[in-house]
Amino acid sequence: MAKVVYGSELSAELKQQMKQKIEGYVARGMRRPCLAVILAGDDPASHSYVKGKEKACQAVGIESRMHYLPATVGQKELECLIDALSQDDGVDGILVQLPLPKGLDEDSAILRISPDKDVDGLHPVNVGKFFLGEEGFVPCTPLGIMELLKRMECDVEGKRAVVVGRSKLVGTPVARLLQNANATVTVCHSRTRDLASVCREADILVAAIGKPRFITKEFVKPGAFVIDVGVNRKDDGHLCGDVLFEDVEPIAAAITPVPKGVGPMTICMLLANTLQGYERKML
């Protein structure tokens, strides 16, 4: 039976610590940290994610400035807003919710975010710093995964880690973080041959493929630490992960559920990155 590690619980603890720190700064007469969020269009999932981010900011005492733009917003107008926020000394973090509506250029928009406010870690300057081992911003979901492994009491050093998925936001950066923590890392993807046998070598298995309940016990070495990054919506509207939980849980050492696993940690690390941006500037 695996230890089931809830990101919802861990994030509540970490948020409590951040709240105390922020109230300490405010008591010393400093302003609150501030996150600016830009959401263009009316995609319901994006609106729901952004609402969650706003609520989380409130809970820890980070000011949130929400900018809702119509789906018809022009590239120029969007980038003018990003420029203004980049130059605003009262803003510590800027998040442009992705995907942007059709017709808008995401890469061009991200380039306009000041790298020292890029709390998503998406700007090429931050991607470059991360891969060079320099201080910058690291994407939130990978940071959350590393916190979950700590909570699992998983000593990453020397372990064999397999990451399934190579996205910019999750697979590629989490592989790098695991490598930095001295794991031996394999990154798998849709063209990997005999995926199950590669996954079975993993002491740490990170599933970030976007295929509902794809990872069954045939993919898992007994005693492995399993992190499920999948967020898939079932026909009944409920969420499920990339891992078939009831199949894998009996043989894993520890596993994260979906929902209440990685998702809450992503938001928590967004707050942590915003606080980090604030501290770099203000302390």
Catalytic residue ranges: 53, 97, 120
**Structural tokens at position 9:** 């619980």
Interface with ligand GUN, residue 98, by CB under 6 A: yes
Interface with ligand GUN, residue 118, by CB under 6 A: no
Helices (H), the chain: 7-27, 44-60, 75-87, 106-111, 124-132, 140-151, 171-180, 195-199, 245-248, 262-282
Residues 6+ apart with CB under 8 A from 153: 254
Q: For residue 47, which phi and psi values (nearest 5 degrees)?
A: -65, -40
Q: In angstroms, rounded to a whole number, what is the distance separating the alpha carbons of residues 107 and 168?
A: 12
Residue with smallest beta-carbon separation from ligand GUN: 98
Closest CB to ligand GUN among residues 39, 156: 39
Residues 60, 95, 146, 174: which binds ligand GUN (CB under 6 A)?
Answer: 95
- Is the distance from CB of 248 to CB of 217 less than 8 angstroms? yes
Residues 6+ apart with CB under 8 A from 279: none
**Only segment of 7-15, 27-35, 96-104, 198-206 that touches ligand GUN (CB under 6 A):** 96-104
Interface with ligand GUN, residue 272, by CB under 6 A: no
Site for ligand GUN in 122-181 (CB under 6 A): 140, 169
Interface with ligand GUN, residue 56, by CB under 6 A: no
| Single-letter amino acid code for the residue at 209 | I
Interface with ligand GUN, residue 256, by CB under 6 A: no
Residues 96, 175, 187, 275: which binds ligand GUN (CB under 6 A)?
Answer: 96
Interface with ligand GUN, residue 97, by CB under 6 A: yes
Strands 239-240 and 232-233 come out as antiparallel
Interface with ligand GUN, residue 120, by CB under 6 A: yes
**Only segment of 15-23, 94-102, 180-188, 254-262 that touches ligand GUN (CB under 6 A):** 94-102
The binding site for ligand GUN (CB under 6 A) comprises 95-98, 120, 140, 169
